[in-house]
A and B are shown apart, each in its own frame.
Chain A
Amino acid sequence: MIAAYIVFCVFYHTCYNAFVLVGSSFLRRSSFLMKSFTKERGARVNYVEKLKKDWLGNVRGDVLAGIVVALALIPEAIAFSIIAGVDPMVGLYAAFCIAVVIAFIGGRPGMISGATGAMALLMITLVAEHGLEYLLAATILTGIIQLLFGIFKLSSFMKFVPRSVMIGFVNALAILIFTSQLQHFVGETWLMYSLVALTLAIIYILPRFTKAVPSTLVAIIVVTAMAIFMNLGVRTVGDMGALTQALPIFALPNIPVSFETLMIILPYSITLAIVGLLESLLTASIVDDMTDTESDKNKESRGQGIANMITGCFGGMAGCAMIGQSVINVKSGGNGRLSSLVAGVFLMFLIIVLGGVVVQIPMAALAGVMIMVSIGTFDWSSLRNIHKLPRTDAIVMVVTVGTVVYTHDLAIGVLTGVVLSAIFFAWKVSKVRVEKSLNAKGDIRTYEIHGQLFFASVTDFLDQINYDEDIHKVILDISDAHLWDDSAIGAIDKMEHKFEQRNIKMELKGMNKESTDLMDKIGGLSKASGH
């Protein structure tokens, strides 16, 4: 099966590359120049070299880092499945499929993708109300949306998500991951609490002595061994759902193909697609920074889309890039495509070999790991810097977090944050300064406008104009202003009209080119329509 996957992925990759190569050589050949032939060959050689570097540039580092990541991925994939309310296998299959597919077609070598908390948190209601099959269908649809997003190169739209909203997103995610663990503590004994404490103690104290083995893994092994040999009788992963020791198989979701089905899954798919891309592109930027290299964000969007489509077909839940795992990967020396492939394949291998042991991991150990994940996800520096931020940015951040914690929906939180930032922005730029001056004779009034004239600022601006002065001419100097929309032109029309009624001539001065164009386009219309 693994071989089949790899064959498929290689096939896709080759087709894609061949397509690009054929496309580019076709274009070049049409120029009929010998020079272009050499260029083309150069491009192909460069491409092959780049492919070689992406895959084989760092074999030792990638393989070691991949193994470390696989070990760290297992508890997370299981815990995220439990958050979403599905069997642990759903998250493990997702982690396997996504990691393997992204290794081939992702845009950011060195980045690790899989089942994530952000996505799991969005699925809870869908799973609870409609079940796993609908989740798989939603996963495929999420992939399609993300693929379209990448094809139409919409990653630049991410610039509309302000930084304060992204910080709010990350912090809210951390809080939700933490609160999602609280249910495991309800009605538990001191034994469970002390196991969680032990897990956390090992996770945080072990790295002081050695960084050779991942401390989360040691914590899980120690706590699981204690639970098994001391026969503690605490709740385990096995109590939360079944774990089949088999490779995922291809099967389309078993759902009625109808409009109603689409209407059920579409809202979930849209939010999953947005949140997935948001976290993936953020992670890509972080890996860019860690490796001091650049990456293709649109290719990454396409890759995430295809990965989710394939995952949905193989019984895995929707996922995206993982900040924590990607940081672990790069820190452990991984920076090529190979590390993601090794992580995915080794994870599946471990589950098949050690599935029987995995089900005996106490929930306490997983809860401890999740608490560590939430502490690691939270952007603590944002708390330190919050007093340095502009007041409005801080408010946007806090409101984003508040909305997510209240609604349990990251997408709504992001949307609220974006809208609030837009309102703050409009409010800030809508402050128009008007300077008034009279000429020596006292019959010509000049208004100098400084700022942006648009729907939100015109009222403010018109309030400062006095129509009842005893003058015969008004000069409106807008050389330091910009007219943005119909409302701005309308306001100037209105002024002219009012002054006309009082037999005062109005003169416009210092229009920039854009404003003149806008005036010609809209101003002419509004006059012709007789307003």
Chain B
Amino acid sequence: MFKNLLLAIDGSDHSQRAGQKAIELAILEGKGKVEILYVVDGSKSKSDVLQYGDSDSASRKRKKMIAPYEDMMTKASVDFTTTILHGSNGAAESIIDHANNGNYDALVIGSRGLSGVQTMVLGSVSHKVMKHVKAPVLMVK
């Protein structure tokens, strides 16, 4: 049933918990695989480059941010891969495209991300994902 899982993360506490649930789901059936997905959208690129100096340093910081999730998977001995998507037109759209183009049994995502202000202005990523992803979505509070 839940063999092929997609875990969309953004480094928030919510997505940390989503990571744990993804592991539980993967273990439930035994031998489930998890793909960790992190989306760097346009405005994220801008603020990251400004904050960390250049693209290389920004990439390093992102790898550091993803490392705890990978550790979590390794500790639970769950098979995983990591995907970082760049340059997209909004995080939600990228997650939706990626989820709908791949063959996933479920998408696991945190209920709320890092950007509170953005949520008010543009509508939340999780909300859009819930609406448009075809696979079952597990939203973790």
Contacts and interface: CB of A to CB of B under 8 A. Distances in A.
A282 B87 contact: no
B54 A285 contact: yes
Nearest to A169: B50
Interface in B53-83: 53-55, 58-59
Interface in A204-234: 204, 207-208, 211
B136 interface: no
Contacts of A439: none
Contact of B53 (A163, A211, A291): A163
Contacts of B45: 286, 289-290, 327
A382 B52 CA distance: 11
Interface of A: 163, 166-167, 170, 204, 207-208, 211, 282, 285-286, 288-292, 294, 323, 327, 330-332, 335, 379-382, 385
Given A211-B89, A290-B87, A332-B89, A327 B51 contact: no
Contacts of A380: 47, 117
A286 B54 CA distance: 8
Contacts of A170: 50
Interface of B: 40-43, 45-55, 58-59, 84, 86-90, 93, 117, 121-123
Nearest to A323: B46
B87 A331 contact: yes
A292 B121 CA distance: 27
Contacts of A323: 46
The dominant DSSP class at the A interface is helix
A167 B50 contact: yes
A163 B52 contact: yes
B122 to A, nearest CB: 7
Contact of A382 (B51, B55, B58, B88): B51
A290 B40 contact: yes
Given A289-B40, A292-B87, 7 more contacts: A167-B51, A170-B50, A211-B89, A286-B46, A290-B86, A291-B86, A292-B59
B125 to A, nearest CB: 13
Nearest to A290: B87
Contacts of B48: 289
B42 A385 contact: no
B88 A381 contact: no
Contact of A290 (B42, B52, B117): B42
A325 to B, nearest CB: 11
5 contacts: A208-B122, A289-B49, A289-B86, A327-B45, A382-B47
A234 to B, nearest CB: 28
Nearest to A208: B123
B51 A163 contact: yes
Contact of A291 (B58, B87, B89): B87
Most buried by A among B54, B84, B117: B54
A207 B122 contact: yes
Contacts of B55: 285-286, 288-289, 292, 294
A330 B51 contact: no
Given A211-B89, A285-B54, A288-B54, A331 B42 contact: yes
B86 A381 contact: no
Nearest to B58: A289
A163 to B, nearest CB: 5
A335 B50 contact: no
B61 to A, nearest CB: 11
Contacts of B59: 289, 292
B46 A292 contact: no
A287 to B, nearest CB: 8
A331 B89 CA distance: 5
B42 A330 contact: yes
B50 A204 contact: no
